[in-house]
Chains A and B, each alone.
Chain A
Amino acid sequence: MNQKDFDIVSIIASRKAEFYVKTREKLLASLPSFIDKKVTRLRLRRAISELDNTLFISEQEKASNTIDPALSVSQLKLNNQEILDRVVKAMTEG
């Protein structure tokens, strides 16, 4: 891996972090008191961080082979269903 790869990895990691922050806020607010919030947070963080990098690159970016670091997750128009399925699977396993 060269420096450019790490630049792109950094951008993707920051997209994942942004997605995690938003999801966590919504999820923790809706959890009942008997669910361990710390464990839920850890699981969610791991589930999102281990998602495939390509899921955080939009179709438009794939077509143009260009990544815009300034775009937020909501602007990317990602494959919501695929991401949802993978997060749910990771959260319910184990």
Chain B
Amino acid sequence: MSRGSGIYPEKSIRRSRGLERFRVEYGVEKRTRRRYTTCDARCWSARSRPSACRCSCGGANHGRGYFAPYRGYPRRPKPPFIGDYFKSIGKSALTSAVIYGLSAAIPPFGAVAIPAYMAYNYSKLGYGLYKVYSEISAEGKASANSMKQASESLGDFVTQDPADTIAWAIVTKARRSGLFEEMAKNTRVDEVVFVETMRGSTSSALSAGAGELAKFAISKAVSA
């Protein structure tokens, strides 16, 4: 029986002998399968069978991917910057949310409670804010001119709009007096939401000039 294998054993023996002679003659080392010394990402992320593993784990971790016993692997994708997200893939979600917010779709509890509460309590809230505004004005902190002068004298150091600064001062003082706490309790909407929207609205009213809203009257017919 010959030492070769397959259909043409003599041929394969001849070929292997020829290779041996070539290696000896030209000093070429016998090629062996390369083994990685340590088990790493090449092994864990492999798609081949565990038997094809060439590292120290001997196939134990081969192709395990997410379950590989290695801290920090695989690395989670870095969360995108929120502005970029809403500029691209998240834009449709934002659009539908805004449309939902403006539409008459089945409203959450808060959406029903806020107008109902405001229908009877807007004057209380308005008076509270006006009182705070008067106090701040008396202290000399809320004059639009004085704020503008201050910001101009400080130059680039003051980046905040004077109207915004006054609005912050009013809302912060009103919050301390518990003005928004009661509103939050009755509408079950977080107090911070009212603080923020009140600040934005006050700032908008101050920067647009006092005459902007003056022409409006408040409807007496409360239909809540």
Residues of A bordering B, CB below 8 Å: 1-27, 30-31, 34-36, 39-40, 43, 45-46, 48-54, 57, 61, 65-75, 78, 80, 83-84, 87-88, 91-94
B87's nearest neighbour on chain A, judged by CB, is A92
Say whether B189 contacts A17, CB under 8 Å. yes
Please give, as numbers and ranges, the residues of chain A lying within 8 Å of B119 by CB-CB distance.
69-70
Please give, as numbers and ranges, the residues of chain B lying within 8 Å of A40 by CB-CB distance.
82
Asked if B200 is at the interface of the complex by the 8 Å CB criterion, the answer is: yes
Say whether A6 contacts B133, CB under 8 Å. yes
Q: What are 8 A-to-B residue pairs whose CB atoms are below 8 Å?
A: A1-B206, A1-B210, A9-B213, A16-B197, A18-B110, A20-B101, A46-B200, A69-B119
Q: How far is the CA of A23 from the CA of B103 in the complex (A)?
A: 10
Q: How far is the CA of A5 from the CA of B201 in the complex (A)?
A: 11
Asked if B67 is at the interface of the complex by the 8 Å CB criterion, the answer is: no
Q: Is the contact region of chain A dominated by helix, strand, or loop, or is it mixed?
A: helix
Q: Is the contact region of chain B dominated by helix, strand, or loop, or is it mixed?
A: helix
Say whether B196 contacts A68, CB under 8 Å. no
8 Å CB contact of B114 from A17, A50, A92: A17
B residues 206-224 with Cβ under 8 Å of A? 206, 208, 210, 212-219, 221-224
Q: How far is the CA of A65 from the CA of B94 in the complex (A)?
A: 32
Q: Across the A-B interface, how many residue pairs have beta carbons closer than 8 Å?
A: 237
Say whether B194 contacts A13, CB under 8 Å. yes
Q: How many residues of B contact A (CB 8 A)?
A: 74
Please give, as numbers and ranges, the residues of chain B lying within 8 Å of A1 by CB-CB distance.
130, 133, 205-206, 210
Say whether A26 contacts B114, CB under 8 Å. no
Residues of B bordering A, CB below 8 Å: 76-77, 79-80, 82-87, 90-91, 93-105, 107-108, 110-112, 114-119, 122-123, 125-127, 129-130, 133, 187, 189, 192-194, 196-206, 208, 210, 212-219, 221-224
8 Å CB contact of B197 from A4, A13, A61, A71: A13
